[in-house]
Amino acid sequence: MSEEDDEIILSELDDEELVQQMWDDLYDGLREEIEEGVNILLERGWEPYRILTEALVGGMTIVGKDFRDGILFVPEVLLAANAMKAGMAILKPLLAETGAQRVGKMVIGTVKGDIHDIGKNLVSMMMEGAGFEVVDLGINNPVENYLEALETEQPDILGMSALLTTTMPYMKVVIDTMVEKGIRDDYIVLVGGAPLNEEFGRAIGADAYCRDAAVAVETAKTLVARKHNQMAAG
Ligand code: B1M
């Protein structure tokens, strides 16, 4: 069979086949194919959030399993991450386009020693879509970066992300420093990342652990509304 006969035309696949193919393409780090797949699903009327969770995050979950099992290595995972980011870039303006009123402000960053940013970026996108102003500090943030941003930006929320069991304890360093400086209660502290859980969030003194971006948005809305009500009452 010639190469041409092998070629898959994404637009000819039905939705289910297309999502499966996008998982394969993400696995193979095929950026252009992921962009094309996202655009096709949008044309077919899929909601941006559904594309994000089913086609992109779904594919990255498979990458994560094979990375854990030593089947994929850092270079391949980086390519997959880049393909995912290209797909997210198309969805970002659409997720932010909800016309929601500004409901609060969040400073967010991945902690020191950690360069994973896909989950954090997704949280930022979803928060912006829900009407929050987001100041993204990027990756590998020492405590000083967070403190400086809190002072200059005066957000309602501090969000921290960590994807490694070796970096998640750093969240406690940041919270403990806030306590020492007497500013801990001035902010809502939300934490997230795959290795965390609720118990860890409580143990380090965060206000809440957020399992995913949708939970982050809901939690942020609830806690900001509570804070504003308390301020109005007090
Ligand atoms: Co890394 N990596 N990685 N990696 N990587 C993991 C995390 C790992 C679980 C893979 C595995 O073994 N299965 C493993 C950690 C093991 C552990 O600590 N227990 C691991 C490892 C070991 C490493 C290295 C040490 C590998 C090495 O060098 N030998 C190295 C460390 C680098 C460093 O940070 N210093 C490394 C490097 C990398 C890449 C650079 C290749 C790449 C990152 C690229 C990038 O981010 N730009 C990468 C990737 C892509 C992954 C996996 C495969 C995928 C992570 C991801 O993007 N998921 C990951 C495996 C996995 O998690 N299954 C893995 C998709 C994303 C949407 O989900 O980030 O969980 P997630 O975010 C979710 C929620 O967690 C939550 O909402 C998000 C959206 O729903 N959330 C928040 C996240 N942050 C939040 C913040 C909030 C709220 C919610 O604040 C309010």
Ligand 1: which of 160, 163, 210 to mutate, most ligand atoms within 8 Å of CB?
Answer: 163
Determine whether domain 1-101 maps to CATH 3.40.50.20.
no
Question: Which pairing describes strands 157-161 and 104-110: parallel, antiparallel, or unpaired?
Answer: parallel
- Give the model's pLDDT for residue 166: 98
CB-ligand 1 contact for 207 (6 Å cutoff): no
Residue whose CA is at the smallest distance from ligand 1 atom 23: 164
The 10s digit of each residue's pLDDT in 7-42 is 899 999 999 999 999 999 999 999 999 999 999 999
Burial 149-186, CB ≥16 within 10 A → b, else e? bbeeeebbbbbbbbbbeebbebbeebbeebeeeeebee
- Give the model's pLDDT for residue 3: 47
Q: Residue 214 C-alpha to ligand 1 middle, in angstroms?
A: 18
CB-ligand 1 contact for 63 (6 Å cutoff): yes
Instruction: Note the pTM of the prediction, 2 decimals.
Output: 0.91
- Give the model's pLDDT for residue 114: 98
- Report CA Rg, the chain: 19
| Residue 224 binned pLDDT confidence (cut-offs 50, 70, 90) | very high
Domain 102-234 class, CATH top level: alpha beta
Domain ranges in the chain are 1-101, 102-234
Mean pLDDT of 168-178: 98
Q: Which of 25-34, 66-75, 126-135 has the highest mean pLDDT?
A: 25-34
Q: Residue 50 C-alpha to ligand 1 middle, in angstroms?
A: 21
